[in-house]
Amino acid sequence: MGQVFDGSILLSGETGPGLHATLERGSEFVRILSGDHELGTWNDNVTTVVPTGKGVFELELDGEFLTFHPSSPSAFAEAMAVPLQPEPAADSADKKPKYDIDAAIDEAIANVRPLTDPNADDDILSKLMLVGIVGTAAVLMAGLVGMSLII
C-alpha cells in the first residue's frame, strides 16, 4: 500500500462539493476509491497532476480529467512532487504591474481642486469684515504690549 489521500473529486466541468474519494498512490499506480468501490486504477506513467490553485489539483489519468480537492493539499503536493500553487505564466513579466505609480499620480493630480480666492464673493467673511477683524486684533495687541510696558 502506498500513500493515501482523502478528499473529493469532480469530473471536468462539474461544480459543487464533489464525490468523497480516496486517492492512493503506489510506486507504479494511482488508484481512486469511493467508499468500498474502486473508481479506477491507472499506471503512474500515464498520470499527470497539475495545481489549479487554492489547494485544488487537476488529474489527468490516461486522458481522463478529474479535479481533486485533497483534505491536506500541502501533503498531497509534496507526495506528488508538484507545487501547491500554479506557476505564474511566463509572459507575466511583460505585463503591467498591478499598481502603476504613474497612473496613481495622474489620478491624484486630476482630483486636486484649486484653492478658492479669499477675496471672492462666495467667502463667508467679506473683505471689509476681514480687515475689521485684523485691525481690531492689531489694536488689542498694541494695547497689551503698552500695558506690559507700564507694569
Domain 3-85: assigned CATH number: 2.30.29.30
3-state secondary structure the chain: CCEEEEEEEEECCCCCCCEEEEEEECCCEEEEEECCEEEEEEEHHHEEEEEEECCEEEEEECCEEEEEEECCHHHHHHHHCCCCCCCCCHHHHCCCCCCCHHHHHHHHHHCCCCCCCCCCCCCCCCHHHHHHHHHHHHHHHHHHHHHHHHC
- Provide the residue ranges of all domains of the chain, joining segments of one domain with +: 3-85, 120-151
pTM: 0.54
Residues 6+ apart with CB under 8 A from 27: 2, 44
**Distance, CA of 18 to CA of 6 (rounded, Å):** 12
pLDDT given at position 6: 92
pLDDT given at position 136: 92
At 8-46, the pLDDT tens digits run 998 877 888 888 999 998 888 889 898 888 888 998 888
**Ranges under pLDDT 50 in the chain:** none
pLDDT given at position 21: 92
